[in-house]
Chain A
Amino acid sequence: MAEIRLKSLAHSYKSKPTSPDDYAIREMNHVWHQGGAYALLGPSGCGKSTLLNIISGLLAPSNGDVLFDGKKVNDIPPEERNIAQVFQFPVVYDSMTVFDNLAFPLRNMKISEDKVHSRVIEIAAVLELSDLLKNKAKNLTADEKQKVSMGRGLVRSDVSAILFDEPLTVIDPHLKWKLRRKLKQLHEQFNITMVYVTHDQLEASTFADKIAVMYGGQIVQFGTPRELFEKPNHAFVGYFIGSPGMNLIEVKKTKGGLKFNNTLVSLNPEMQAALDQVGTSNIKIGIRPEFVHVWDDKAEGAFECDVLHTEDLGTYKIITMKLDGEVLKVRIHEDRAVPTKKAYISFPEQWLKVYVDEYLVDIEEPEDEEKETV
């Protein structure tokens, strides 16, 4: 059983980091609870693999601690950490059979051969590898190899967390969902903490109960897929999650609301009051393409836009519009008529988000759990 806690953790690949930009992981505090299925989502180079390697012990953090169940493990090598890791490219021992591959970690632990045998048979059945046990690992397909590398983690009864580093990258698309479902099933069956690194939001949200979005070496939001979608805590989360991502427009504070070019977006009094406290000029408004309201005709308070083009994606359409020099994406249902040339849109107050210095201005409820992660 393991709860993984990161305490004031930071990492730099340089020996003498001088600026915050030198850090691959900026100082963070984070908790992965026992038995959870988590995804670590972010673009290439955001530090997610670095973070994973620090948790597994392949990399020593330059600052801060990694705690397993409250016990500091910084100085414990990966082989003694009770974790397993599955890598981007399947790692199998080519010269061995599937059986020997699965038995390998157990034999290294000097476990008696009959126990090894029963455990390997059991795990092979779970992973649907039973028919392949006598085959050379070398001749397996990519997805079978990846199952074998997962299996080497699962056979060990001491493993309390499995870390996945983009495990489906080299798997054929039609097998991806199958393997992903298998993972989910394994998670339910084994009560193991799983952390899954990916840059694919779909992968993250189908696998994980909670997703940590990483950006620039930091976890900018930790929440359920729904929270990430409906209430992105950081402008990057808005942009990164969703297809297409959130529309973000740089705005200036002005009397009665926020302004870009000649367009004024009015705000409710609470928001207005909150923004009055703000000193910075880095303010953005964000609204998801799904939540932009498209009127059938001219309406009071609606903005007039030029329709640039439309993409029909089968179940929905994406309209690209220009509103006072800013390009917006709007997503509408397949059945709705597409406005030609001119469109009239408005931003429902509940879905219009304001970001100050990239972070959400949250006036609805007091901050609770985000506190822990940010």
Chain B
Amino acid sequence: MQRKVRDNKAWFLVLPVFILVAFSAIVPIMTVVNYSVQDIFDQNTAYFVGAEWYREMLRNPALLDSLGRQFFFSFSVLAIEVPLGIAIALVMPTKGRMAAVSLILVAIPLLIPWNVVGTIWQIFSRADIGLFGYAVNALGIDYNYTSDPTAAWLTVLLMDVWHWTPLIALLCYSGLRAIPEAFYQAARIDRASKWAIFRHIQLPRLKSVLVIGVLLRFMDSFMIYTEPFVLTGGGPGNSTTFLSQALTQMAIGQFDIGPAAAFSLIYYLIVLLVCYAFFTAINQLDKAK
């Protein structure tokens, strides 16, 4: 029998990964932490201010407003894109040439660079020259996203739905294809209705791809920047200014490095917390049954 060796040498084996992670994540984050606790005037003049910036940021009405907007936006996006994506995946053809054609058509929005998406919708929705904006106005509905906050909101939402629903649809499509034919055959023999098939076969088997889809869509939409920036520039007023745009304005526009650093750490913690909550909730749901 060989005696078991008890020491901590194995740690050396994972050391390279630690070094890599340190440089790619920990060092940059600590830099931000460093900024967030100082008031910096120039390269040589900085004062330690403790949690002052955090306190100030949590009381900053502009930030709180954009945080509220951000949550509203992300949850609206999820509420529309998830059911819509599932519905699209369910009606997409599964066999023959139409399957390939529909896959390509659905995937196209995902392949367009984000700032181009913003530009497309910026022009598309313009009341004077945009096809969509002009058509809506021609129907007698007063629609101008540059002056009306509601219209701006709807346009940003519509753009995101157009851009990202295909992701959910494709994930669900692949999830649906992974269901063996025997399940549908057994369901037919059991006289299951279409709804029962969806409820008891398709939906349970889409759960794992939906977890990925919801998390991805939440994180992405919560950090959205480029598209609304190009489309509305955060306006009219501040009505479509989301968190990352508010942050950028503060950090680069006003050069308030300290408050911006505190802000971005709060932002980071929110994303982390919500994702963790989502993930745990879904896992718990699974175990509870």
Chain A: residues with CB nearer than 8 A to chain B? 53, 56, 58, 77-79, 83-85, 87-89, 91, 93-96, 104-105, 108-109, 136, 149, 152-153
Contacts and interface: CB of A to CB of B under 8 A. Distances in A.
Q: Identify which of A58, A89, A136, A153 gathers the most chain B CB atoms within 10 Å of its CB.
A: A58
Q: Identify which of B183, B189, B192, B193 gathers the most chain A CB atoms within 10 Å of its CB.
A: B189
A87 B192 contact: no
Which 8 A/B pairs are nearest by Cβ-Cβ distance?
A91-B186, A87-B182, A108-B191, A105-B190, A95-B204, A79-B191, A93-B200, A94-B204
Given A78-B185, A108-B193, A136-B289, 5 more contacts: A83-B189, A87-B186, A91-B183, A108-B191, A109-B191
Given A95-B200, A95-B204, A85 B189 contact: yes
A53 B183 CA distance: 14
A87 B180 CA distance: 11
B200 A85 contact: no
Contacts of A91: 180, 182-183, 186
Contacts of A78: 185, 188-189
B275 interface: no
Interface in B191-225: 191-193, 196, 200-201, 203-205
A85 B186 contact: yes
Interface residues of B, number: 18
A56 B201 CA distance: 21
B240 to A, nearest CB: 39
Given A88-B182, A89-B180, A89-B182, A77 B188 contact: yes
Interface of A is mostly: mixed
B205 A94 contact: yes
Contacts of A87: 182, 185-186
A152 B204 contact: no
Interface of B: 180, 182-183, 185-186, 188-193, 196, 200-201, 203-205, 289
A79 B204 contact: no
Contacts of B190: 79, 104-105, 108, 152
A79 B180 CA distance: 19
A96 B200 contact: yes
A108 B186 contact: no
Q: Identify which of B180, B185, B193, B205 gathers the most chain A CB atoms within 10 Å of its CB.
A: B185
Nearest to B201: A93
Q: Identify which of B180, B182, B186 gathers the most chain A CB atoms within 10 Å of its CB.
A: B186
Contacts of B200: 93, 95-96, 104
